[in-house]
Amino acid sequence: MTNMIYQVHILLKDSEPKIWRRVQVPTDLLLEDFHKVIQTSMGWTNSHMHQFISDQKFYTPRITDDEMWNELYNVDYENIKVSKLLKEEGDEIIYEYDFGDGWQHEIVLEKILPVDQKKQLPVCLGGKMNCPPEDVGGTWGYAEMLRILRQPQHKEHKNYLEWLGGSFDPGHFDLEKVNKLLQEKDFGCIEL
């Protein structure tokens, strides 16, 4: 499927309140670039390994010296387009980031849209909530961090604030900033 636009909903699984983004990408976007779009729109820093999971296969960059690589389950995603995994509205895949923290994102193809000559892709249409900080310990660690930040008298409160650079607003989401970052990055973006 070429010359179409995918509208995709990205939900950080097990987040409460829900942390999500809605993006539009070209159907011919490579998975390695889709990874960058997810990283940028969610607010991650691309500091850890990742994979896409579809039909019990793991689509990931090939690590040549990895003895655990199993071609029955792992697929080198080089040159694979997002349209190989998402084909019809309602299709879902999982994007996992940081295998230690285990951040799983549910990705749903909401709409397949015709080309819009005026639109530069990728673009983020909306979202809710701030992305958890890197290395916070997954959903459990993030919930614990938020609990401690709500208690200024807690013995770990000051340590968390220092680690976070002084403050953290879990409800903050800056759509304009996300789109500026998406426009600055090299995704093989195309103007349709």
Q: What is the pLDDT of residue 3?
A: 74
pLDDT on residue 188: 55
Q: What is the pLDDT of residues 20-30, one digit of tens each?
A: 999 999 999 99
Residue 189: count other Cβ atoms within 10 Å of its Cβ. Answer: 18
What predicted TM-score, i.e. pTM, was given to this entire model?
0.92
Question: Percentage of the chain with pLDDT > 70?
Answer: 94
pLDDT value of residue 192: 37
Exposed (0-12), middle (13-18) or buried (19+): which is 123, by Cβ within 10 Å? buried
Adjacent-strand bridge partners of 19 = 12
- pLDDT for position 191: 42
On the question of pLDDT at 190 being above 50, the answer is no
Helix (H, G, I), strand (E, B) or coil at 118: coil
Strand partners, 120: 191
Dump pLDDT digits (tens) for 92-141: 999 999 999 999 999 999 999 998 888 889 999 999 999 999 999 999 99
User: DSSP 3-state assignment of 13?
Assistant: coil
pLDDT band at 189 (very low <50, low <70, confident <90, very high): very low
DSSP state of 187: S
| Predicted pLDDT at 102 | 95
Distance CA 25, CA 83 (A): 10
Q: For the purposes of burial, counting CB atoms within 10 Å of the CB of 145, is it exposed (0-12), middle (13-18) or buried (19 or more)?
A: buried
Please state, in angstroms and rounded to a whole number, the distance separating the CA atoms of residues 119 and 123: 8
Tens digits of per-residue pLDDT, 37-81? Answer: 999 999 999 999 999 999 999 999 887 777 766 766 788 899 999
Distance CA 14, CA 28 (A): 30
Q: How far apart are CA 64 and CA 172, in angstroms?
A: 39
Q: What is the CA radius of gyration of the chain?
A: 18
